[in-house]
Amino acid sequence: MKYAYYPGCSAESTARDQYMSVNEVAKALNIELIEIKGWTCCGSTPAHQTNKNMSIALPAANLLMAKKTGLDMVVFCAACYNRMKVANHEIQNNPAIRKEIADTLGEDYDGSVKVLHFVEVLVKEIGIKKLKSAFTHTLDGLKVASYYGCLLVRPKGVTQFDDPENPTLMDKLITIMGGEMIDWPHKVECCGGGFALTRTDIVVDLSNSILGMAEASGAQCMAVACPMCQINLDMRQSDIHKAKGKDYNLPVVYITQLLGLCLGIEPKKLGMDKCVVSPKPIIELVKMA
């Protein structure tokens, strides 16, 4: 199983733990991720707030490079995934935009590269049964709140990741890992990702609401699939404590870090030492199981 892999900008900085865990899990499952040579920023939120041409041309440049490999593209960052999907949708459905982007890039791109989130690869391409048979450890009943955020599931007609109101792909992974999937209402609420640097007060309010609901629903940890969500919900817990007086101390980890533990991979190789809120209780539970 081979894919063109787009890591995204955060892979070498704020989401190094995501990058590490994705690659370790892929290696353990014999998934070959071939990093796209010369990949560049997808534009994320700043591009589509500034200039439509730029917001499509930036991801299209990477999609064009992926097309030349002849492979489907795999992305883990939810923002990158969303921008790649939007670019494909715009180019496929608007001939004028396709021509404009071709003029910008100096080469035509037809919007044909299949874009997959790594979670989709695990659930839809490898399959639940095969994945389960690879586990050597279990979450042993750990209560996990899957948090999908905004960008994986919306717009529904563009991303086509899962149900936009009640996605279940990560829930399925938690269940086969021996965890207890928490049924809770905030799994697709916004954490304020786009305001992470400019309006931290909004991020604190939104993240506090999400963490509060996860706690009230009985979660012992949260599993995420987006670097921006992970930072807001993990790192901002100290800001929430200062502003709201709430002390959640709730570990927020990538779904691939949980998968890695169940595959018997050492926590440090999964970047778990980089979490702000210690995931030690999770690691000890998995080792005991």
Domain boundaries, the chain: 2-118, 128-288
Is the pLDDT confidence value at 46 over 80? no
Which burial class, exposed, middle or buried, applies to 201 when counting CB atoms under 10 A from its CB (0-12, 13-18, 19+)? exposed
CATH classification code of 128-288: 3.40.50.11810
The mean pLDDT of 57-69, rounded to a whole number, is 97
Q: With CA atoms as reference, report the closest residue to 64 among 96, 110, 13, 122.
A: 110
Cα angle 207, 86, 128 (rounded to 5 degrees) comes to 70
Number of Cβ atoms within 10 Å of the Cβ of 125: 14
Which tokens in the block code for residue 10? Answer: 């955060």
Q: How confident is the model at residue 92, as a pLDDT?
A: 98
Judged by phi (left if over 0) then psi (alpha if -120 to 50, else beta), residue 229 lies in: alpha
What mean pLDDT, rounded, does the chain reach?
95
Residue 184's pLDDT is what? 97
What are the pLDDT digits (tens) for 220-261? 999 999 999 999 999 999 999 999 999 999 999 999 999 999
Cα end-to-end span (Å), the chain: 30
CATH says 2-118 is which class? mainly alpha
Other CB atoms within a 10 A radius of the CB of residue 107 amount to 11
Q: What is the mean pLDDT of residues 261-283?
A: 97
Label residue 13 by pLDDT band (50, 70, 90). confident
| Per-residue confidence (pLDDT) for residue 14, from 0 to 100 | 87
Task: Give the pLDDT band of residue 209 (cuts 50, 70, 90).
Answer: very high
- Pairing of the two strands 221-224 and 143-147: parallel
